[in-house]
Structure 1
């Protein structure tokens, strides 16, 4: 989510500043709903060098509404590209890769569809048969959970950050409310796009905690900042892409897609895990990720400040240290 950018250090190496967006065609892609995306394409960016053994690749998919360009500052602070070959990938539906905004008749998709498309990219276009790690923030964390259950022998390590293996009741309330706001604007494209102003307010209301906003923002500036946030959302996000990725998140349930219960997961999952949650997250509830980490008795980090879903940015040093040690 784009606001993460303002909370991570923007100091990146020269290689990050010089890198450009690339596109890969993965041909006809069949979704979990048996629909076909013709000429399916994925955007991506790479950093660092793949070693001779092809054993140092890390995949980092985008968060909800985010792009690989948005990820550059985050990846630059988290991953040492002198050691690892980093692949930032634009998830289906984000407006860069195949999406409602650039593909006529684009069907509903799931988080598993995003992951299956990324698997095709990695195996066919990059010709890799193994990933050292998969990691992601928010919806990227959801994709990370899906990766390790969909392709348990393919990934050595996984780092889901403020993601979830299964949507909670509270998460469903939030995502369905944002979806409903757009739908209630009717079919007129202009009205639907303008509805993103109200979506922005609901989204920001859940992005951080009340304590965070009281601590960091002035009440006298609230109306002006709400207006600016709404305008930015209208300009920066296509409502059909927004709904597309909301639908994908609402489908998130690794127990259903894998056919494995929580008690069966320790035997099913092969990857080593570092699960990072924010205990005061009102956008992606931490309960199911916490439950998952405890059931697998795996590496687990709690971010306990008042930043809510923005905690990975507010507690950057803690996150960077945990990731560096884990990798």
Structure 2
């Protein structure tokens, strides 16, 4: 019994050690805009064991406003960590890694900057020079698309999930509206923080479809739910970090950063791909990703529920099955 208890405690301590947040200082990091982030730090968590050949690593960056702790249960159900070495990374600007909220004079960044910083983390700090796979959800999917053109030989496989290679007109309308709400609050930090209440309403309006909300919510509860969502956004989100990552998403265009047209992508992309889109997504329009998948002639999964951008949760079994089979 004592031996069993010891083994249980040892395994639990090992899991906690892997799950713990780590920080890597990648030094002076130069952005695409020519600015420098001094003592640039990236936070990350790892699960599983890196094999001797260092050939089983999977990188999974965070979504918009998300943190690696939010990914633990999500990524953990998709990736077999007895087989793969999973690296969850906090993207620049999320408030954990270097961000406006923790770094003075933090400059504007792009999705390519997020990818370049993650490349530095892998190669300089973790000494990993090749990935088995890169994958991500939403803004993590945008980073996945950017990885494909920034470092086309760096990974064997790529799985962008409800991401986009280029922002659509509708996406730009959404992100610019959220950004404007904060800016219109003026320069007072408290007013800008309180503006996150209205950001929450706009954000949630686009997170799922009208059919989803009608099906799952009662109109009588709307005001209370809106109030609670506003409270949560004020408590859990820094408006300057929010704007920072919005600006990064607005810059997303892999055709511009690579200098390659969509027609040239089949010859340029090296990794095997699985593209997953939500056909009724009102937050990250799926058309650009669908066009990409068709031209590149890659594996392609459509989530068709009324959950919109939340379809990865509503159709999680479909996503897990597709990801597992592809990996």
TM-score clears 0.5? yes
1:4 — aligned with what? none
1:190 — aligned with what? 190
- Which residues of structure 1 form unaligned runs of 5+? 1-12
Deviation, 1:76, is 1.2
Runs in 1 of length 4+ with deviation above 6 angstroms? none
2:7 — aligned with what? none
Query: How far apart are the structure 1 equivalents of 2:126 and 2:268?
Result: 26
Kindly indicate whether residue 213 of structure 2 is the aligned counterpart of residue 213 of structure 1: yes
Query: How far apart are the structure 1 equivalents of 2:15 and 2:278?
Result: 28
Structure 2 counterparts to residues 190-269 of structure 1, below 5 A: 190-269=190-269
1:41 — aligned with what? 41
Deviation, 1:84, is 0.1
1:153 — aligned with what? 153
Other structure's SS at 1:27 match:
coil
Q: TM-score, normalised by structure 1?
A: 0.95
Structure 2 counterparts to residues 45-64 of structure 1, below 5 A: 45-64=45-64
- Greater CA deviation, 190-199 or 18-27? 18-27
Q: TM-score, normalised by structure 2?
A: 0.95
Deviation, 1:116, is 0.1
Kindly indicate whether residue 94 of structure 2 is the aligned counterpart of residue 94 of structure 1: yes
Query: How far apart are the structure 2 equivalents of 1:79 and 1:197?
Result: 35
Other structure's SS at 2:74 match:
helix
Query: How far apart are the structure 2 equivalents of 1:75 and 1:174?
Result: 27
Deviation, 1:270, is 0.2
Kindly indicate whether residue 177 of structure 2 is the aligned counterpart of residue 177 of structure 1: yes
1:255-284 deviations in whole A, cap 9, x for unaligned? 000000001111111000000000000000
2:288 — aligned with what? 288
Deviation, 1:17, is 5.7
Say if 1:44 and 1:89, in contact at 8 Å, map to a contact too.
yes
Say if 1:16 and 1:76, in contact at 8 Å, map to a contact too.
no
Deviation, 1:285, is 0.1
Deviation, 1:202, is 0.1
Query: How far apart are the structure 2 equivalents of 1:28 and 1:198?
Result: 36
- Which residues of structure 2 form unaligned runs of 5+? 1-10
Query: How far apart are the structure 1 equivalents of 2:239 and 2:75?
Result: 27
Aligned length: 315
Query: How far apart are the structure 2 equivalents of 1:87 and 1:312?
Result: 20
Query: How far apart are the structure 2 equivalents of 1:111 and 1:291?
Result: 20
1:188-235 deviations in whole A, cap 9, x for unaligned? 000000000000000000000000001111111110010000000000
1:141-180 deviations in whole A, cap 9, x for unaligned? 0000000110000011000000000000000000000000
Deviation, 1:314, is 0.3
Query: How far apart are the structure 1 equivalents of 2:56 and 2:74?
Result: 19
CA RMSD of aligned residues (A): 1.0
Other structure's SS at 1:39 match:
coil
Kindly indicate whether residue 80 of structure 2 is the aligned counterpart of residue 68 of structure 1: no
Deviation, 1:16, is 5.6
When Rg is computed on C-alpha atoms for both structures, the one with the higher figure is: 2
Say if 1:32 and 1:113, in contact at 8 Å, map to a contact too.
yes
Deviation, 1:72, is 0.3
Query: How far apart are the structure 2 equivalents of 1:73 and 1:197?
Result: 27
Query: How far apart are the structure 2 equivalents of 1:207 and 1:132?
Result: 31
